[in-house]
Amino acid sequence: MAHSLAAFGLYPSTKALHFGAEALRAAKFRHTDISVMYSDGRQALRLRESPPAEADVVDDDGQTTSLGVILTTLSGIGAVAMSKDGPFMAGGPILATLVAAGENLLASLRGLGIPECDLESFGERLRRGGLLLSVQCDDDSWTTRAREILEQTGAERVA
């Protein structure tokens, strides 16, 4: 059975998350391998309705676009309601894993491949409004590269 490699980072703001996602894309990570997950409380609203200074970015054609639209183009977006932990929004390959493991947040994070020693801290940070950015990697060198990018772009916690 093939071992799935991924890197995960928790971001404090939509601006930092966008910077991280763009850095991954600039480093030639496939956009279909980049995923996002966040609480469907205030963060989901902030993602959709953030003021231009925080959430609008200029794309390659010089057009201003909201961060929500950019994240949606990664690979779809959807909501997952977890019985104990409430609703979360997710975009990218992470969505299928969340739906399959949708019992609770920790089970979902475990299913994504977040190390057991990091589950509680990642779960708590997500419940408090953190933004999770993950990227599937082809091999250990890509995983190392992804971790470095997440750390350099302001992820508060990287796994």
Residue boundaries of the structural domains of the chain: 5-158
Query: SS3 for 20?
Result: helix
DSSP-assigned letter for residue 33: G
Q: What share of the chain is helix, strand, coil (3-state, %, to 5)?
A: 50, 25, 25
Average pLDDT over the chain reads 76
Least confident of 15-19, 23-27, 100-104, 125-129: 100-104
pLDDT at 89: 76
Q: Residue 77, exposed/middle/buried by CB under 10 A (0-12, 13-18, 19+)? A: middle
pTM of the model: 0.76
pLDDT at 64: 43
Tell me the C-alpha distance between 68 and 84, whole Å: 26
Per-residue pLDDT tens for 68-92? 554 555 556 666 767 677 777 777 7
CA distance 159 to 151: 10
The pLDDT tens digits for 10-68 are 998 888 888 898 899 999 999 888 888 887 654 444 444 444 444 444 444 444 445 55
- CB-count burial class (<10 Å; 0-12, 13-18, 19+) for 61: exposed
Phi, psi of 69 (to 5 degrees): -65, -45
Rounded Cα distance between 131 and 2, Å, is 28
The residue with greater pLDDT, 119 or 108, is 119
- Predicted confidence band of residue 158 (pLDDT cuts 50, 70, 90): very high
Mean pLDDT within 111-137? 89
Please, which residues have CB within 8 angstroms of residue 102's CB and are 6 or more apart in sequence? 80, 81, 82, 108
